[in-house]
Amino acid sequence: MRVLFCSSEIYPYAKTGGLADFSFCLIKYLKKYGVKVKGVMPYYKTLKAENLRKTDKGVTLNLNGKDYTFEVYESEDCYFLRNDELFGRDYIYGPPGWGYEDNDIRFGGFSRAVSELISTGQLEADVVHANDWQTALIPLFLKEVFKTPVKTVFTIHNLAYQGLFPKETVERVGIPPYLFHMEAVEFWGLVNFMKGGIVFSDLITTVSPTYAKEIQTQEYGYGLEGVLKKYSYKLRGILNGIDYEVWNPEKDKYIYQNYSLRNYSKKFKNKEFLSKELGIEAEKPLISFINRFTHQKGVELILNCAEEMSKLNANFVFLGTGEYENAFLDVSKIYKNFKVFAEFNEGFARKLYASSDFILMPSYFEPCGLTQMIGMRYGCVPIVRKTGGLRDTVKDISEGGYGITFEEPSKETFLCSLKRAIELYENAKKFRNSVKIVMSLDFSCDRMTKEYIECYEEVQSHQ
């Protein structure tokens, strides 16, 4: 089976978020299972790659009345489509806070170029796997423009970002005009790239079983709940995984003391070292938030509860960047049990995973969430809101599980969950048992990859 994996970002070549990690992980593990897989992504100015080989493949497209030539470079595991006018810029999607005005031409053009390269046999595939709005038009182009028999799988990572553009985009990127209607790509007078992927792919996946259900509701559907209900027969929820070779406390070179499930008591050594560094008491429970400081991650809930949290017998560490970072820095100046690091520092993040007793994720919505999985891999008991992938990965201790969960995003329920966590920590035997359970759970890419292979086999069996 030949799979072409299409993504706007693939680690280590380009990364702005979890899509890059997912792409890297799935490509790596598909190879492990003998699938002939290759990634394809834009050749950005910021691309982190060496020794790429320029191929004799390529395509010229007319986009918005102008010709653009895409040259094809390759590494061992990935193709890169190069057009410096479109992708030779300082940012992948645009400066922080806004996207480039021609992102429809950039990613619509990329999707059409990939599709034409497949249709002419320059890129080979039995199954094409597209991801999020940036590559969502590939299923449409393959089916409606190039009429290829290649099967397509489309993964929704975050429905909140749909790739919405003016009606003129139809002509600008070469979408057949007859598809600008509400049963295809039209959405309230706009062109919706994500909708194109949903309608024209052979199978849709999203990143957790619960999120697959949630996006069919008004609360989480962002206007696409109707179309997702219509196509629910081809929608699957596959829980994301993490790379257990990358995230492994037994071999992690960044942490103070390596440990595993067999000798997890060594985890406390990490906490001792970090507590000394931060000037906090190692005896108190350490509750950490390692994520973006954005609305989605439930940060307003934390800020609204800061005064009450300051009175709890626990220390809180926050690591991340985003729109609320100044608010967190201000709070840390008032309350001594709040430590805030407004940066993304992987080495420190790993130290924090290895040292923390609890990992905190009070997200308003969470398609999957990898932070809680990494935290549990490192022996952190999760404190999470029951939404999306958090609901799928964390079972409450009151139900025979191993974590702390809450339903309503209110001050009362959130503070109650923190108090329950502290009570659990104070019951040493019960807490140790939870740590052992979370470290023994399987959230690996292995499990996820097997499910994607089943999806590829399913679409190939369709006539």
Binding site members: 15
Q: What's the rounded Cα separation, in Å, for the pair 46 and 53?
A: 17
| Tokens standing for residue 151 | 């099967």
Binding site for ADP-alpha-D-glucose: what residues are annotated?
15
Cis ω for the linkage preceding 176 (within 30 of 0): no
% helix, strand, coil for the chain, step of 5: 40, 20, 40
DSSP labels for 32-64?
HTT-EEEEEEE--TT----SPEEEEEEEEEEET
Under a CB-based contact definition with an 8 Å cutoff, are residues 202 and 151 in contact? yes
Query: Dihedral of CA 398/401/404/407: which sign?
Result: negative
Query: Dihedral of CA 335/336/341/347: which sign?
Result: negative
Q: Which residue has the tokens 């022996």?
A: 379
Q: What's the rounded Cα separation, in Å, for the pair 119 and 109?
A: 15
Beta strands in 174-282 (DSSP E): 186-187, 190-192, 203-206, 235-237
